[in-house]
Structure 1
Amino acid sequence: MTGVGLGTIAREWGRIGCIGFGGPPAHISLLRDLCVTRRKWLDEEEFEHGIAATNLLPGPASTQLAILCAWKLRGTAGALVGGFCFIVPGLVVILALAALFLAADPPAWVTGAAAGAGAAVPAVALHAAWGLVPGSWKRVVDRAARVRWVAYLVAGAVAAAVTGPWLVLVLLVAGLVEVSVHAPSSRRAWPVVVALPATGGGLLGVAWVAAKVGALSYGGGFVIIPLMQRDAVHTYGWMTDAQFLNAVALGQITPGPVVQTVAVVGFAAAGLVGGVLASVVAFAPSFAFVIFGGPRLERLRDNRKAQAFLTGAGAAAVGAIGGSTLPLALSLHEPWQFAVLAGAVAWLLVLRRGVVSALLTAGAVGALISLL
């Protein structure tokens, strides 16, 4: 531990939480600049090890990296302060926007902006999946592994596009198959699948959905989007498909991880209390992984079983993110939204421009159409 003051951690991590637009790449870049380049609290190798370790954990990897870096500086207190200050700015913004976008009678331009930004969300999901393919493919070492990788990818895509609740089971099975191949002598504990929805609604339902988001989002927040959509729209009826697309868009254009989408879902279900509860429950596993597992995280990246599990589950997660494009696209209703979607695909995959600019442009187009 370097003994960095908690006030310093609060200020610096809060600053990143305020300006961290652009998702994990932006968060990692800002943390690297702070901890390695400017303040030299961590060396480059230590920081890279942190990235590798948090990528092996379920949940929002960049948030876990922020918590881990603060933990390295001041232990548990640093992790709690740094993580809180990193998360809260985006949470405040997204809850304020949720109140505006989910109002009973929002202005026409707000409705139009939401519809426009929502129309671009399937393109964002496709872009996220495409960006993850190279890293997942690098884990493939032989012909048999390539066959399994393709099978995991397809299974994840089908689960996300069609089956919904079985997505988590697909992720777990893919990971466990790889563990059995690469570490056959290890004891295998088959985890309990918590993909099925809770029987109760209200705050209990919010907590259940948020727990799945925080504990099971292998490959980043987008992998849990299909399951979250099924729970929020079809199981509990808290939101319409269009409102859910708005929630995902808000999770992208605000600072912080896409997992913040669950705060909008919680707000739709139970107001401000539901939004805060959803965020607390969703991020609790990230704090627990670092605070209670911190001393072991350094060894996690060299653990054969962990690496094997990520190889399988990671490939299925990439497929799931790509497969989520279908139900998200089917949530669109207006003809002009499909034109916006096509434009967003071109913007992200052909022109290779940024996600935030795509969503903001799509929102502006929707607002203009609503005013005309």
Structure 2
Amino acid sequence: MSAQASEEKGASDKTGASDKMATSGKTGETVEAPAAPSFREGVKLWAKIGLLSFGGPAGQIALMHRELVEERRWIGEQRFLHALNYCMLLPGPEAQQLAIYIGWLLHRTIGGLVAGILFVAPGALVMLTLSILYALYGDAPLVEALFFGVKAAVLAIVIEAMIRIGRRALKNRVMVLIALAAFIAIYALNVPFPLIILLAGLAGWIGNRIAPALFSGAAHGKDAVPDIKGAVDLMFERGELAHTRPTRWHAPRIIAIWLPIWLGPVLLIWALTGSASVWTEIGGFFSVMAVVTFGGAYAVLAYVAQAAVESFGWLAPGEMVDGLGLAETTPGPLILVLQFVGFLAAFRQSGSLSPLLAGSLGAMLTLWATFTPCFFWIFLGAPYIEALRGNKALSAALGAITAAVVGVIMNLALWFGLHVIFGEVRNIGLGMDVPVFSSIDWGAALLSCAAMIAILKLKIGMLPTLGGSALAGVLLLAASG
């Protein structure tokens, strides 16, 4: 074939992309297939998603689904869910990792980098500003009253998240038992969170072999929705996504590049400041969190709060709830609450630096240790996961892990409830905390009940509930003083 003929064929392939037809697996009707998006179009969409990604991981994933699958059809339904399944198995924020994955599918490594950075950057800037205001003015009576109300709303939001995920994950008695076992393990037996996730995944994998009907129904089934193809699917069929196919040197190359990018700055800080410095503590602790934070922000916050409050002494118990309240009001992943923790840790142990500068550097170090691994996990594993599309054992393991996460969030809701509603709790052994009932704060209890009614019964949105609770906190302060 001549060069001119090859060029004409290539041009025909590209212009013909929008003329191909995709078939709905549910109705059999044909729809016009979309053209592949340009890199510029991708940047604009990821910037939009980053600015509008309120509402926690469920809201963020729903936003991406609407923009990418329903409206633009850049990616098909099944490939979107397959990518989401993988991201839910990873440590770290699954919504950001899903953005990286889809950005990588569309525009290779640079697309993944842009998608992941733009997903986090707007919220990180807002969170840094709020952290500075909190550190400078958090002791003011008005600010304390605002956060008194916000804490009540946060408790309601965590409970709503537990119910929402539970409805999706607990499809049968086996999944309910897994959730209860996870709750007992983390609350009463003090079993490490990563071990709970590992055991749940193993139970799902084994259960799929013994009783597949009980386990496959808990995950996102391959045939649960119609398979309407998107631009990515058509690009894959035309052989244009060579980067999605793993090669012999893929894993060694990604490890050699991204492990130094991730851990190099942390090790350099350790070498320069010593093992006892707050900078080494921040870098080391949040690097470990990046490896073990399965299940998203809600599932890991109880562990982070315990370490930040009791082990390192960076925060007071109520301040962790304040931080989550701030994270709920910003775009981006809820795990940005860790940025708040890192800021306060460095702000209060600033040494020779000004507290604001130290806090800002601590926030940046936390962001680096928390979010850089997300790119590593996706760029390393995504080609292999693309090769495993339709694997039932993987879906079953995901279903069991999601059920276990419900139990872990139950523990988080209990932890928050104890610290929001009661002024004093005591440990009765094996890591179990119980309230001192005489220390109940009736104002906090009433506000928490009102927030739960607003969210669960009246279906009022998260941001209006947070605002109303903050205002109620101020009014209670005025009435009492």
Shorter-normalised TM range: 0.7 to 0.9
What is the match of residue 99 of structure 2? 66
Distance 2:342 2:300 in 1: 15
| 1:61 to partner: Cα distance | 1.7
1:176 aligned partner: 202
Aligned equivalents of 2:203 and 2:71: distance in 1?
43
2:323 aligns with: 247
The separation in 1 between residues aligned to 2:137 and 2:189, in whole angstroms, is 32
Deviations 1:53-104 (A, max 9, x none): 3233332221111111211221111111111011010011011111112226
What percentage of residue pairs aligned between the two structures are identical?
29
What secondary structure sits across from 1:103 in the alignment? helix
Query: CA distance change for structure 1 residues 162 and 247 in 2, over 3 Å: closer, same or farther?
Result: farther
Measure, in 1, the Cα distance between the counterparts of 2:157 and 2:147. 15
Show the 5 A alignment for 1:23-172: 23-103=56-136, 106-138=139-171, 140=172, 146-147=173-174, 149-162=175-188, 166-172=192-198
* CA deviation profile, 1:343-363 (whole Å, cap 9, x unmatched): 122222222332232222212
Q: Distance in 2 between matches of 1:221 and 1:300?
A: 27
On the 8 A contact 2:193/2:292 being kept in 1, the answer is no
The equivalent position to 1:361 in structure 2, one of 462, 468, 480, is: 468
Matched to 2:452, the amino acid is V
Q: Distance in 2 between matches of 1:163 and 1:355?
A: 33
Tell me if structure 1 keeps the 8 A contact 2:170–2:176. no
Change (3 A) 1:168 1:181: same
Structure 1: tracts of 5 or more residues without a match: 141-145, 185-198
8 Å contact kept, 1:175–1:309: yes
Pairwise CA distance, 1:295: 1.5
Q: TM-score, normalised by structure 1?
A: 0.85
Q: Which one scores higher on RCO, CA 8 angstroms, separation ≥ 6?
A: 1
- Summarize the alignment of residues 268-287 of structure 1 with structure 2, pairs less than 5 Å apart: 268-270=344-346, 271-287=359-375
Deviates most, 302-311 or 246-255: 302-311
Provide the rounded CA distance (Å) in 1 between the counterparts of 2:54 and 2:92: 18
Amino acid at match of 2:299: V
- 1:201 deviation in Å? 6.0
Check conservation: 2:158, 2:298, Cα contact below 8 A: yes
- Residues in 2 aligned to 1:202 and 1:158: alpha-carbon distance in whole angstroms: 33
Q: CA deviation at 1:183?
A: 5.4
Letter in 1 for 2:112: A
Cα distance, 1:165 vs structure 2: 6.4
- Where does the alignment leave 5 or more consecutive residues of structure 2 unmatched? 1-34, 211-274, 347-358, 424-440
Query: Does the CA-based 8 Å contact 2:326-2:337 persist in structure 1?
Result: yes
Aligned to 2:453: 346
> Secondary structure of the equivalent of 2:136?
coil
- Using structure 2 for the length normalisation, give the TM-score: 0.67
Whole-angstrom CA distance in 1 between matches of 2:179 and 2:78? 31
Please give the per-residue CA displacement for 1:215-271, whole angstroms capped at 9, x wherever unaligned: 333332200011011011111110111111001111211111211111111111111
How well do the aligned residues superpose, as a CA RMSD in angstroms?
2.6
Q: 1:122 to 1:209 in 2, by over 3 A?
A: farther
Residue in structure 1 matched with residue 49 of structure 2 by the alignment: 16
Q: What code does the residue aligned with 1:116 have?
A: G
State which drifts further: 219-228 or 48-57. 48-57
CA distance in 1 between counterparts of 2:135 and 2:208 reads 48
Verify the 8 A CA contact 1:218 1:314 in the aligned structure 2: no
Once the two structures are superposed, the pairs formed by residues 190-201 of structure 1 within 5 Å of their partners are none
The answer for the alignment partner of 1:194 in structure 2 is none
What corresponds to 2:235 in structure 1?
none
Equivalent pair of 1:109/1:367 in contact (CA under 8 Å): yes
Matched, 1:327 2:415: yes
The alpha carbon displacement at 1:293 in A equals 1.7
Give the number of equivalent residue pairs. 350
Report the Cα offset of residue 47 of structure 1.
2.8
Tell me what 1:193 maps to. Answer: none
